[in-house]
Structure 1
């Protein structure tokens, strides 16, 4: 692998920019992995996260090894009502539909935890380890393809892409358990995260149909929502302390 680009300031700027972009793009993947693995028995969660993120790294590096093929995935394969669709478009639409379905299903289970009350529902089965890994692998593929196409669009130096991908996946690995534990410990955050997945799914579908949605708007909305939820959590904590105060004084 050629590393002569290290002395080129432009290449270093491209590397730094791509690392940041890959880390940000990895947030979508990480939220999905966190939500899904929290449905597993506690002793399996950490292992499932490591495997899921490891698969994301393998897929990304594998896709980097087939850049010539990846580039052709953006070429039109058929046209419907004047709009040309490529393999990338179909993969994004399929992944978006899966995310919307999964997030909607999880929101329903959180809002109505007694599915047997509805004749259209079936008893909820416990998520198996294999099923969790299979679903993570499916979304890993979608997010990895989007990640690599973004990288190819920014630079043609494979080494820069590889370094950016490895750094981004390492950040995901470090953040996985703390994020998943935080989501699991805060039920309102679960709904917020599922809302994020719905928005991400709809964005993938829109991208697949040719409607470009600037990622900055998506992540700004997510950051604002997270800030509001953080303020709500602080407010609830302050209210609990205030409610506990008189009781503590009386018992003292």
Structure 2
């Protein structure tokens, strides 16, 4: 056990925790938007489930890291001369799922759904929310697991870093979710960011080496950070008397708004 507490291992542990948190930003944004569809009484429970399932999924993938790396380049099936290995299929499926869910969320917030306009409400159930979170968490885990394998040498350090990173993300996810919910323009920026991430996953699934050479995620993160900073300046300079844009929402809040009108 003492061999884990060398200077190199401690440095790799700290670096890995930071990298896991950075790589988990898009995951936190997706989870925050999904959990905001739950009744308020279930959101904390949903975040707890996400934290434990996230730790579980990443830990299992870490134990299977060697096997996963061995599958790289081994096509499950081929279309013409193009072969698709396990990682490619996960990336393609995850990209399609993320784009679909994000576009549906944008539609829901801007256009609304017929049952919402009739006041019935259609909040997401806890079971459906957890299933969606687990599915997308598996996709987002691939980047973090590969990063862990390239940064640390011992599985114990990898798992410890993943656990710490998930706890940090859990502690801040509530504040992020609340902030996104209160500021419609930030929410639309976050949804746009998720569409970009979904597209990048499709590119990575189709040609991972080419996507890696292009550093697509770096451009996406930079664009999102720049847009976020610009919007923060807009929020600071915006007149206090100016009414914010209101996105359509489900549940009691919309009913109360309708009654007030």
User: What TM bracket, shorter-length normalisation?
Assistant: 0.7 to 0.9
Task: Give yes or no for the alignment of 1:49 onto 2:47.
Answer: yes
TM superposition score normalised by structure 1: 0.85
| 2:194 aligned residue | 197
Match of 1:139 among 127, 136, 140: 136
**Structure 1 residue 234, shift from structure 2 partner:** 0.9
Aligned to 1:216: 218
Map of 1:96 onto structure 2: 95
The structure 2 residue matched to 1:182, chosen from 168, 179, 182, is 179
Tell me the TM-score normalized by structure 2.
0.82
Q: Is the 8 A contact 1:3 1:159 kept in 2?
A: no
Q: CA deviation at 1:20?
A: 1.5
Alignment of 1:166-177 (within 5 A): 166-177=163-174
After superposition, where does 1:101-140 map in structure 2 within 5 Å? 101-115=100-114, 125-140=122-137
Shift of 1:242: 9.1
1:43-73 per-position Cα deviation (integer Å, ceiling 9, x unaligned): 1111111111221111111212222322223
Is contact 2:34–2:129 with CA below 8 Å preserved after alignment? Answer: yes
Residues 82 and 14 (structure 1), Cα distance of their counterparts in 2 relative to 1, 3 Å cut: farther
- Residue aligning to 2:149: 152
The match for 1:246 is none
State which drifts further: 206-215 or 89-98: 206-215
Match of 1:40 in 2: 38
Could you say which residue in structure 1 is the equivalent of 2:246?
none
Q: Does 1:60 align with 2:58?
A: yes
Aligned equivalent of 1:247: none
Q: Greater CA radius of gyration, 1 or 2?
A: 1
Structure 2 unaligned regions, length at least 5: 244-261
Instruction: Say whether the 8 Å CA contact 2:95–2:197 is kept in structure 1.
Output: yes
What is the root-mean-square deviation in Å for CA atoms of aligned residues? 2.3
Per-residue CA shift, 1:112-145, capped at 9, x if unaligned? 124479xxxxx97331111111101111111122
Count of matched residue pairs: 234
Residue 248 of structure 1 is matched in structure 2 by none
Query: In the alignment, which residue of structure 1 is the partner of 2:235?
Result: 233
CA contact (8 A) 1:40 1:128 kept: yes
